[in-house]
Structure 1
Amino acid sequence: MKKRKIYYPLFLALAVAFGIFIGSMLDYPQKNAALLFSNNSQEAKIKRLINYIQYDYVDKVDTDSLLDGTIRNILSKLDPHSVYIPASEHDALAESMNGEFVGVGIRFFMHNDTLTVTSVVKDGPSAKAGVEAGDRILIADNDTLYGKNLDSNFIIKKLKGEPNTKVKIRVYRKYKDTLLNFTLKRGTIPLVSVPSYYMLTDTLGYIKIDKFANTTYNEFKTAMNSLLKKNMKRLVLDLRGNPGGYLNIATEIIDEFLEDDKLIVFTKNKGGKIEKTFATSKGDFENNQIYVLIDETSASASEIVAGALQDNDKGVIVGRRSFGKGLVQQEMELGDGSAVRLTVSRYYTPTGRSIQKPYNTKDGKSYYNDRLERYRNGELTHGDSIKVVDSLKYITPKGKSVYGGGGIVPDIFVSIDTMAYFGRFHFGPIQDFVFEYLDNHRETMNHWNVNDFIENFDNDEKILNEYLSLFDDQSKIAVESIPYIKLYIKSLIARDLFDENVFYQILNEDDQMLQKVKQLESQVDYLEP
């Protein structure tokens, strides 16, 4: 296997930063952009300076780019979550939180300079037309979609578009060695935010929420209703890796668990105005047990959920201290398609604690690299390494101590699984391997059904050994990480063969937090503070 440079700490930091950035889009009414720069001397000064540069400066300058940089610089002096969104990025970010987009319904990547379908969305335009995973899309409306240095924006533009418009594609199907033509009618494709729900035991259900988008509550209710019909009495709500999203969606979900008139969250702005949100009578799971899984990348709306339940003595929070974002953003348009998301208030959990962690505007990197620092100081492996401040201690109605000042501290600590963590460094190479394996065994693999796959796939470890054989020096692969590598191979193949739900069912098989929940299930007094 070719060796590649993989800068995991950098990728991890960027992924966390981008996730928290997405998650900072909370649902507050927009204000007119004119309110951002009112007609005053400051506005006149900025306009005059731009005019001087545009008309009198000795060299030609892209004033749009210059202004973008100036806005970013201004916002960087405020807090880590007040951000500028250029017009070129605004639609894509908004789309990710709307929960849907218009397209042809495929997941793809560039394989050997060719656009290759890795999976098709069930009941989407491509699935209805007969496009299959493994197909190479060569041409779309007479434009070639293969070759070196092909711009990804060009590809997306060719496949996305207006509802009910058509695109003609020509594909190569490798396992049949044939060229096929399809006409696809673009349609609305869901961006799923509840990727997995299933029964862990006869009475214990599991729901994972990736983010709080416009469609998340409806997805959540669909999952809840499905599990309730399967006799679910208790629920695991998995918010690990969830960067947040819309506040009103999070409070709707919390309302399913809290009794009438219980305080969910309150916000306070610069003028001291307080807005409180209370539970209503609509909850379907108010009298049942809930476990909430969080980790160091659970942020914003995820922390609102965990904090509201913890402060109301509802259920058990399991995992590691959450990210620590307690600031609320409001989007304000700038008139040219761009916008700023400006922090306008802080939110507080029902006991009155702010969970915003400290930040230094001069060092944004350390703010998002906090996960790495937590690993270094032992917090991710030892619960007693979590630093709490006694002056920020609050007491719940049942007498449990909770703390503000930086994230939600779980009721039950679960250490990071270091072998799983380092095994994930193989995720990139494993994805390449999985594609190649499926590509060469497509006809055989398509005959698997879900239950047989979960029970019997690669029990003889031939596929695992085929992957390991690609490494010249296998002694550098930690023996303890091999079971996780096997699990990742199986789960990634399951995702491409079936769906995200099966992917998570397999990935969660030996999950330490879920094992802890099952252990708690066997105890009696775990709810007592």
Structure 2
Amino acid sequence: MNRRTRIFLPLIIAISIAMGIFLGTSLNYQKKTITFFGGTPQERKIKRLIDYIQYEYVDEVDTDSLLDGTIKHMLDKLDPHSVYISARELEGVSESMNGKFVGIGIQFRMYRDSLTVVKVLDKGPSEKAGIKAGDRILIADNDTLYGKQINSDYILKTLKGKPDTSVDLIIYRKSEDELLPFTIVRGEVPINSVDAHYMLSEDLGYIKINKFAATTYQEFKVALNDLLDKGMKKLVLDLRHNPGGYLQVATQIIDEFLEDGKLIVFTKNKKGRIDETFATSKGDFEDGHVFVLINGASASASEIVAGALQDNDKGTIVGRRSFGKGLVQQEMQLGDGSAVRLTVSRYYTPTGRSIQKPYENKGNGEYFNDFEQRYHGGELMNADSIKVNDSLKYETPKGKIVYGGGGIIPDIFVPIDTTMFFPDFHYQRSRQFVFQYLDTHVDEFEGWSFDTLMSDFDKDKHIFNEYMSEIPSEFQSFTGEEEKNFRLYLKALFAQQIFDINAYFRIVNEQDMMIRKVIELHDEGYPIDP
């Protein structure tokens, strides 16, 4: 331990203790406004300590950074989901969960020292102004953005701003080989949480939700109504890799499936207060059957949806055991633009089970990344390898046995498809390859419809062969099935760039084992009522 560490360690411990006292006495979000350094002895104590460090300590110290680290250290001692969010991080998190941001509406990347538009976002200012994918943004408000090293934060700061402000751009358009001036008025750009919706068959619909944000319910209703208009009788609700979000939004979606008066979820805080949420009579899909797809990355609000439907004997849960998060967080502002998300209660499914997996005596790395443990334990390949606790056994109204204590166990298990997993190199390199290919073959897909791409894309394998010719030899070994699935993945990436994310999922789902299992069940007339 060096001299500086010996000096700082007592200070950090002292601040941790003082902050712990402060949180314990003042952080009652229902009754008090959260303020730092008020009139209590504990608050005055920590304020005095920080003043000593700031004004008397022998070296210059960034007390803000010291305090941030101390808060994070304290929260790490609570549970894995109580977290500190700095002011800088909070802006991005808030945008994502609000379902919109203010900017010019593009996806971009630095390509050969130029800021290049990868995708123009639907209904955004750039689309209205006529910006196209492949355009190089050379200058923004007289600030040169090419030929130098700039990071994403700098670009975002330049292109984003307040609503109705403008930014003057000079763009190089390769297809026209000329510089073009644009003035774009910044505006709200939607961040969609419903990735895709389409019909899998004549009466089987599909909706993919990536998170439960402020706008998710409205997006879901649009998708649901569109599919109902197309004759949907059964729905596949894909919640795989959905980490959760707002509980209230999840309950709104569940209400579309459950009859009036059915219990959706209840929460309990440290004082024993129970808050229950019940379905209403407004649901538009109460008579339809829903298949919910989950996996080990389906968490929190996704598990509330799956648990509510499973416990009410409504629908069928398909896939693999979910993540296992049964804790509810409250976001609390700290007065300087930062915030904490503090666990304030636990939630329980209608039968009364908590699906929170154990986190005591586990580091955050082990807690959040237990994929390998599940894989080596065999549960990703075999349902019989899923460990259950008989003391946490519950029964649904129709007599189905369900378990608490670590995620939602599906009604119908589908093993992992190892042929769909490629080395990380391919996921990264293939996206770069697709962008480069489209950038240098501008006219190849001109006038193509989605149906044309589905039937005619890379029939002679020239695109696949070009990709393989550009990668190191150690990544060129594919089995026949792996090559087939990777070519499908390449096709989906092209569809995403040429059309949209909906087109991407329509293609990758063709070989998806869970989707194929649902179609098999559907074709067999499942569910068969007793």
With structure 2 as the length reference, what TM-score do the two structures score?
0.91
Contact 1:356 1:405 in 2 (8 A): yes
- In 1, distance between residues paired with 2:33 and 2:66? 20
- In 2, distance between residues paired with 1:152 and 1:142? 18
Query: In the superposition, relative to structure 1, how do residues 257 and 112 fare at CA in structure 2: closer, same or farther (>3 Å)?
Result: same
| Aligned residue number for residue 19 of structure 1 | none
Q: CA deviation at 1:128?
A: 1.6
The 5 A counterparts of 1:433-452 are: 433-452=433-452
The AA in structure 2 aligned to 1:506 is I
Contact 2:311 2:396 in 1 (8 A): yes
| Aligned residue number for residue 256 of structure 2 | 256
Query: In the superposition, relative to structure 1, how do residues 447 and 184 fare at CA in structure 2: closer, same or farther (>3 Å)?
Result: same
Q: Deviations over 1:363-397 (max 9, x none)?
A: 11100111221112111111111111000010000
The AA in structure 1 aligned to 2:189 is I
Q: Deviations over 1:162-207 (max 9, x none)?
A: 1111111111112322211111111110000001000000100000
SS in 2 for 1:213: coil
- In 2, distance between residues paired with 1:264 and 1:475? 48
- In 2, distance between residues paired with 1:35 and 1:528? 57
Query: In the superposition, relative to structure 1, how do residues 340 and 36 fare at CA in structure 2: closer, same or farther (>3 Å)?
Result: farther
| Aligned residue number for residue 10 of structure 2 | none
Greater shift, 375-384 or 517-526, is seen at 517-526
Q: Does 1:461 align with 2:476?
A: no
The AA in structure 2 aligned to 1:433 is F
SS in 2 for 1:243: coil
| Aligned residue number for residue 12 of structure 1 | none
SS in 2 for 1:75: helix
Q: Does 1:374 align with 2:353?
A: no
Query: In the superposition, relative to structure 1, how do residues 103 and 130 fare at CA in structure 2: closer, same or farther (>3 Å)?
Result: same
Corresponding residue pairs, total: 502
Structure of higher CA gyration radius: 2
The AA in structure 2 aligned to 1:500 is I
| Aligned residue number for residue 220 of structure 1 | 220
- In 2, distance between residues paired with 1:377 and 1:99? 38
Contact 2:244 2:301 in 1 (8 A): yes
Q: Does 1:112 align with 2:75?
A: no
| Aligned residue number for residue 411 of structure 1 | 411
- In 1, distance between residues paired with 2:73 and 2:361? 11
Greater shift, 439-448 or 183-192, is seen at 439-448
- In 2, distance between residues paired with 1:30 and 1:231? 46
- In 1, distance between residues paired with 2:113 and 2:475? 33
Gap regions ≥5 residues in structure 2: 1-27
- In 2, distance between residues paired with 1:339 and 1:445? 47
The 5 A counterparts of 1:23-42 are: 33-34=33-34, 39-42=39-42
- In 2, distance between residues paired with 1:289 and 1:38? 55
- In 2, distance between residues paired with 1:158 and 1:145? 10
Greater shift, 408-417 or 120-129, is seen at 120-129
Instruction: Give the share of equivalent positions with the same residue, in percent.
Output: 62
- In 2, distance between residues paired with 1:154 and 1:274? 46
The AA in structure 1 aligned to 2:206 is Y
Contact 1:76 1:361 in 2 (8 A): no
Contact 2:326 2:347 in 1 (8 A): yes
Q: Deviations over 1:40-64 (max 9, x none)?
A: 3332332222122112221111111
| Aligned residue number for residue 491 of structure 2 | 490
Query: In the superposition, relative to structure 1, how do residues 368 and 219 fare at CA in structure 2: closer, same or farther (>3 Å)?
Result: same
RMSD (Å), alpha carbons: 1.8
| Aligned residue number for residue 175 of structure 2 | 175
Gap regions ≥5 residues in structure 1: 1-27
The 5 A counterparts of 1:274-423 are: 274-360=274-360, 363-422=363-422
- In 2, distance between residues paired with 1:202 and 1:425? 38
Query: In the superposition, relative to structure 1, how do residues 68 and 424 fare at CA in structure 2: closer, same or farther (>3 Å)?
Result: closer
| Aligned residue number for residue 95 of structure 1 | 95
- In 2, distance between residues paired with 1:37 and 1:268? 31
SS in 1 for 2:259: coil
- In 2, distance between residues paired with 1:399 and 1:66? 55
- In 2, distance between residues paired with 1:525 and 1:313? 14
The AA in structure 2 aligned to 1:145 is L
- In 1, distance between residues paired with 2:511 and 2:254? 28
Greater shift, 423-432 or 231-240, is seen at 423-432
| Aligned residue number for residue 131 of structure 1 | 131
Query: In the superposition, relative to structure 1, how do residues 446 and 121 fare at CA in structure 2: closer, same or farther (>3 Å)?
Result: farther
Greater shift, 164-173 or 317-326, is seen at 164-173
SS in 1 for 2:510: coil
- In 1, distance between residues paired with 2:261 and 2:97? 29
Q: CA deviation at 1:33?
A: 4.5
Query: In the superposition, relative to structure 1, how do residues 94 and 185 fare at CA in structure 2: closer, same or farther (>3 Å)?
Result: same
SS in 1 for 2:511: coil
Query: In the superposition, relative to structure 1, how do residues 472 and 78 fare at CA in structure 2: closer, same or farther (>3 Å)?
Result: closer
Contact 1:360 1:367 in 2 (8 A): no
- In 1, distance between residues paired with 2:251 and 2:80? 24
Q: Deviations over 1:387-430 (max 9, x none)?
A: 11000010000000000000000001111111102266511110
The AA in structure 2 aligned to 1:488 is Y
The 5 A counterparts of 1:232-243 are: 232-243=232-243
| Aligned residue number for residue 144 of structure 1 | 144
Contact 2:242 2:298 in 1 (8 A): yes
SS in 1 for 2:139: strand
The AA in structure 1 aligned to 2:329 is Q
| Aligned residue number for residue 477 of structure 1 | 477
Greater shift, 119-128 or 471-480, is seen at 471-480
SS in 1 for 2:422: helix
